Amino acid sequence: MWAASERHSSKTKTQGQKKGYTSSNTKNDSKRRKKADGTVRAWDVRLRQEVATLRTANQEFWSFDIGGSTQNLVAAGANAAMICWDRRTNRQVAMLNECHTEAVTQVRFHPNKKEKLVSASVDGLMCVFDTKGDINDDEGMDSVMSVGTSVAKIGFYGKNCERLWCQTHIETLSSWNLEEAIMEADFSEMRAHASCNWSFSPVEYLIRCCYVAAFDTIWLLAGTQEGTIGYFPLHIPTPNTGTSVPAVGPASAVLTGGHNGVVRSVWSPPDSARESGATLEGLFCWTGGEDGRLCSWTEDNYAHERSTAWVSSGLVAKKAARPKRRHTPY
């Protein structure tokens, strides 16, 4: 497994921005971590040892991903630059410093077209690159999309991952057609729209989006200051949906009772949920919050609001704390 650490920073406009996570399966069970010292490090979780280090001078990394046509390219977002290495040799192969003018908060390889790389920045731009040939700012750039404000998170969705959702630092959301490089939906008042679609406290922040390919449906995950999380279905205008106006639907699932503060991360296995009418059935996920809690959730079979959504007020397991052996990796 490859992963990146999270770290808060107060030195740039991305104050409060968490460093992004990304992961991919590898044969050597290694974990990769990016640091503020200008390095990206790989660890073997079985041996609990560092096995590789990618370096560059005078940079702090905000996000990274692994991809490329041979899955050997490591790309990292830094301060107004994007840096690429070949992980077979640990050699830096490119530095793109003309595409962005401020911190590159997101770097993502396309899930299907592995050679396509998308970056997003505090400068409000999202750039698409082709990494098959020489990687540079001129010949390698396919398109540029202007969001107009600082970008916090991005993600692919759609049957062929042909669309991109974009979450900003001012809690807005937009959907983009990746092939045509145009915006298809703009949810500028997302928190207000989501708050009208459940009976809990007003939504204060966005977490991320979740896409279930089996039903071609995308959900916004958003939460309250008290730690309640909602899954809100998004209706994006596309030729196939027949929807003409962007809309937010009633919450399909609600997670409550696990956290008592802001929730920053939600993770679920791919296609862990199935859709049934307006509800999400069989959903399993982990959440992490500013309260220092890591919670595991599953559907409550006896939810009172099952007609419109299911509400899970309990965790998968609640066990008494017990002493742990030192150096336990999990």
What's the count of helices (H) and strands (E) in the chain, helices before strands?
A: 1, 26
Ramachandran angles phi, psi of 181, nearest 5°: 55, 45
Domains defined along the chain, listed by start: 1-188 (2.130.10.10), 191-330 (no CATH)
What is the pTM (predicted TM-score) of this model?
0.80
For residues 79-94, give the mean pLDDT.
Answer: 93
Strands 253-255 and 310-312: what pairing? parallel
The per-residue pLDDT for 240 is: 63
For residue 178, what is the DSSP state? Answer: T
**What DSSP string runs through 242-273?**
---S-EEPPPSEEE-SS-SS-EEEEE--TT--
Q: What is the pLDDT of residues 91-112, one digit of tens each?
A: 999 999 999 999 999 999 999 9
pLDDT at 9 over 80: no
For residues 25-54, give the mean pLDDT.
Answer: 73
pLDDT at 124 over 90: yes
The 3-state DSSP composition of the chain as helix, strand, coil percent (nearest 5) reads: 5, 40, 55
Q: Which helix (H) or strand (E) holds 224?
A: none
d(CA 102, CA 257): 39
Mean pLDDT over each residue of the chain, to the nearest integer = 81
d(CA 17, CA 62): 9
Please give the C-alpha separations between residue 184 and each of 94, 179, 189, 207, 232, in angstroms, as whole numbers.
Answer: 32, 12, 16, 21, 18
Using CB atoms within 10 A of its CB, is residue 58 exposed (0-12), middle (13-18) or buried (19+)?
Answer: exposed
Helix, strand, or coil (residue 195):
helix
Which of these, 104, 126, 114, lies nearest to 178 by C-alpha position?
Answer: 126
**What DSSP string runs through 80-122?**
S-EEEEETTTTEEEEEE-SS-SS-EEEEEE-SSSTTEEEEEET
Least confident of 68-77, 193-202, 209-218, 309-318: 309-318
Q: What is the pLDDT of residues 178-227, one digit of tens each?
A: 999 999 999 999 999 999 999 999 999 999 999 988 878 899 999 999 99
d(CA 80, CA 14): 13
Rg for the chain (alpha carbons), in Å?
Answer: 20
Residue 37 neighbours by CB under 8 Å, 6+ apart: none
Ramachandran angles phi, psi of 218, nearest 5°: -115, 135
Widest CA span of the chain, in angstroms?
58
pLDDT at 283 over 90: no
Show the tokens assigned to 108.
């993502």
